[in-house]
A and B are shown apart, each in its own frame.
Chain A
Amino acid sequence: MARFRIGAVALWLAGFAGALALGGLAFIYSGLYPVGADVPHTALTTWALDTLREHSVARASADVDVPSDLDSSRRLLSGGPDYHEMCSGCHLKPGKSKSDFTLGLYPSPPDLTRPPGEGVDRVDLDRRRFWIIKHGIKASGMPAWGPGHNDERIWNMVSFLGRLPEMSPEQYQVLTARGDGEAGHH
């Protein structure tokens, strides 16, 4: 009798899982889910994607070694022009609060001119930033810069990001301008 019940429950569970899988597949093929960047995800999808991303980046960046000279003038000088040319369109610069990219991309790129939240571990943040710049994030608009830029150059950008929230528009302009003689500096 008990054996019969276990078999029935297993059969019922298998049928339920199969129906769920078929329903999911039918939903994917139906085209009903709105993929336009101007329609936000549902709360559940947002939670799932955010949680997935945060935990994935934390795990992948946990073993990254942060250079001890990260906050050096040399790195700030090298990282500034790269940030300006590669990142500021999406992640903004002092004195600018929005751009076409921040308005149109979904999810909206983080404003890196704002200081990180209270209680954020700086070393952990540097590790995460390095990893994200190098590897990018799928389906977010964030490209992987690693294939065309070596680690040293990426760390210079991380260094610049560390001081960016403190910069005035004038300081930012000076540090990010390459000037005539700096073409091919790297």
Chain B
Amino acid sequence: MQRLLLASLAAIPALLLAATVSAHDPSEHASGSEAPDCEAMHGMDKTKMEADDPLLQALMQKCMQEAHGDAAGHDEPGEENDEQPHDAGHGEASTDEDKHKH
């Protein structure tokens, strides 16, 4: 009985801790996520956007990833982006245009 009580006392905080950690996992956010609706982008007036606009580039990258993912049985998208470590020094990873810099 005492052993059961001790096991419960140890297990409950461990479960609570595990739940806290998984709550911040992006895969938790992604449950039930929808696919990008790139069909809706076909009607977009791209003449108002410049080719080196990061927003336009992001949209194109996303839809290309989606198209390639569909064609190749959902390959992992964004692999090239993941090459940069997330803790890379700020200001060192400028791979895009300078036009819209702050």
A121 nearest CB across to chain B (Å): 9
**Smallest beta-carbon distance B55→chain A, Å:** 5
B residues contacting A by CB (< 8 A) are 23-27, 29-31, 33-38, 40-41, 44, 54-55, 57-59, 61-63, 65-66, 69, 74-78, 81-82, 84, 86-88, 90-91, 93-97, 100-102
Residues of B within 8 A of A77 (CB): 58, 61-62, 78, 81
User: How far is B29's CA from A149's CA once the two chains are assembled, in angstroms?
Assistant: 13
Interface of B is mostly: loop
Q: Which residues of chain A from 41 to 98 have a CB within 8 Å of any chain B CB?
A: 65-74, 76-78, 80-82, 85-86
B101 touches A168 (CB 8 A): no
Measured CB to CB, the closest approach of chain A to B27, in angstroms, equals: 4
**Contacting pair A168 B44 (CB below 8 A):** yes
A177 to chain B, nearest CB (A): 4
Distance from B74 Cβ to chain A, minimum over Cβ atoms (Å): 5
A153 in contact with B86 (CB, 8 Å) = yes
Residues of A within 8 A of B90 (CB): 65-69, 155
Q: Are B81 and A78 in contact (CB under 8 A)?
A: yes
Task: Report if A71-B87 is in contact (Cβ < 8 Å); known contacts: A78-B81, A178-B33, A184-B27.
Answer: no
Closest 6 CB pairs of A and B: A148-B24, A67-B90, A72-B96, A183-B30, A73-B58, A73-B57
Asked whether B91 lies within 8 Å of A76 as measured between CB atoms, the reply is no
Q: Could you say which of A151, A174, A179 contacts B69, with CB atoms under 8 Å apart? A: A179
Indicate if A180 sits at the interface (CB-CB under 8 A): yes
A105 CA / B32 CA spacing, docked (Å): 27
Question: Known contacts being A68-B101, A69-B91, is A179 close to B55, with CB within 8 Å?
Answer: no
Contact flags A19-33 to B (C-beta < 8 A → 1, else 0):
000000000000000
- A173 contacts which chain B residues (CB < 8 A)? 34, 36-37, 40
- List of A residues within 8 angstroms of B94 by Cβ: 68-69, 72
Is B87 touching A152 in the complex (CB atoms < 8 A)? yes
Is B29 in contact with A81, judged by CB distance below 8 angstroms? yes
CA distance A80 to B93 in the complex (A): 19
Min distance, Cβ B51 to any Cβ of chain A, angstroms: 12
A86 to B25, CA, bound (A): 12
Additional A-B contact list (4), CB under 8 Å, known A177-B35, A183-B26: A74-B81, A85-B29, A173-B40, A181-B69
What is the distance, in angstroms, from A110's C-beta to the closest C-beta of chain B? 20
Knowing A65-B90, A177-B33 touch, does A149 contact B100 (C-beta < 8 A)? Answer: no
A122 within 8 A of B: yes
Q: Is A167 an interface residue (CB 8 A)?
A: yes
Q: How far is the CB of A132 from chain B (nearest CB, A)?
A: 17
